[in-house]
Amino acid sequence: MILLVIPAALLAVVSIGSFFGRWVWWLDVLANFRAQYVVGLIIFSLSLMLTRFRRTGFALLVVAAINLIPVLPLYVGSPGDSDPGAPSIRVMSFNLLSDNERFAKLIDYIRTIDPDLVFLHEASRPWEVAVEAADLGYEVIRPRADNLIFGTLVLVRGEDIAAVSYGFAEAQPRAVELTYRPTGWPRGLEVLSTHPLAPTERERADLRDAQLDFAAEWASGRAGPLFIVGDFNATPWSWPFRNLLDRADLRNSQVGFGLHPSFPATSNVLLRVPIDHLVHSEELVIRDRRLGPALGSDHFPLVVDVQLAP
């Protein structure tokens, strides 16, 4: 049984260490696997409780409970009371993946779910041409600078539409702001789509954190209904994500809907993590939230129905 005790203890130490990601970038990366720690520690705990290592098994169960605390609100929390009679919009956010060429499959999916607002991340010129040629009935906004290969492509239906690009180069905010009034809504809406860098090394982790700080500053300086959406390259247990919610007083649309692990779509479900998000101000409420099917990317599309709070 010592062969179980050693990996179990290592997993427990890693899971506790990942709570200190605010100060060490690679510990923050480890925090993204909070749900996996819960499952793994429970399995180790129950296995050891059946042996003479019962105390070790109980200690592991305590560590599993500590890891469960930040995961549980996604399942038992309330997204707020929605009003079936109030106007709502359907928002879709999808990281296309740079070498994905399944143009027709995505266009058919957009036609099927009929979103009001679409953000397509890592969109290159071929994607821009394909979407514009499909004539889906949206105003198409291309905030990508001509000297960049990729950006975020925006498809929107509404009135008084204005967009501002904050740049999509590595050291820029990698974000686009959209201000408009959705069809049927009595007031306007402000939206920020963001796609921070993946924290694969210290420098990129620092840039990712700065890009999420930009999003927090953007939201905290505004009043009225707003949301931030995109591939955050961070889970709800990552320090910059939690800091974004705290600084801007925003709510996580996952609350009440579950984990929704969106990446990597090509892996076993037990290895996936939720890094595609929509966070919103208190003037909005989430009517529904779900992931779409695999569409040739390593991400699943995120689909969220948003309405004004009653």
Where along the chain do its domains lie?
A: 2-71, 82-308
One digit per residue, the tens of pLDDT, for the chain of length 310 reads 677 889 999 999 999 999 999 999 999 999 999 999 999 999 999 999 888 888 999 999 999 999 999 999 999 988 888 888 888 999 999 999 988 999 999 999 999 999 999 999 999 999 999 999 999 999 999 999 889 999 999 999 999 999 999 999 999 999 999 999 999 899 999 999 999 999 999 999 999 999 999 999 999 989 899 999 999 999 999 999 999 999 999 999 999 999 999 999 999 999 999 999 999 999 999 999 999 999 999 999 999 999 998 8
Residues in CB range of 46: below 8 A, 6 or more apart? 57
Q: What angle do CA 155, 293, 70 make, to 5 degrees?
A: 95
**142 backbone φψ class: left, alpha, beta (φ>0; ψ -120 to 50):** beta
Please give the backbone phi and psi of residue 128, each rounded to the nearest 5 degrees, phi first. -60, -45
Distance between CA atoms of residues 91 and 81, nearest Å = 19
Residue 229 tokens read as 């959406």
pTM for the structure as a whole: 0.95
Laid out side by side, the sheet with 175-181 consists of 159-165, 175-181, 189-194, 226-231, 276-280, 251-252
Amino acid at 170: E
Amino acid at 147: N
Residues β-bridged to residue 291 = 302
Residues β-bridged to residue 251 = 280
Distance between CA atoms of residues 115 and 6, nearest Å = 49
Q: Under CATH, which number does the domain 82-308 receive?
A: 3.60.10.10
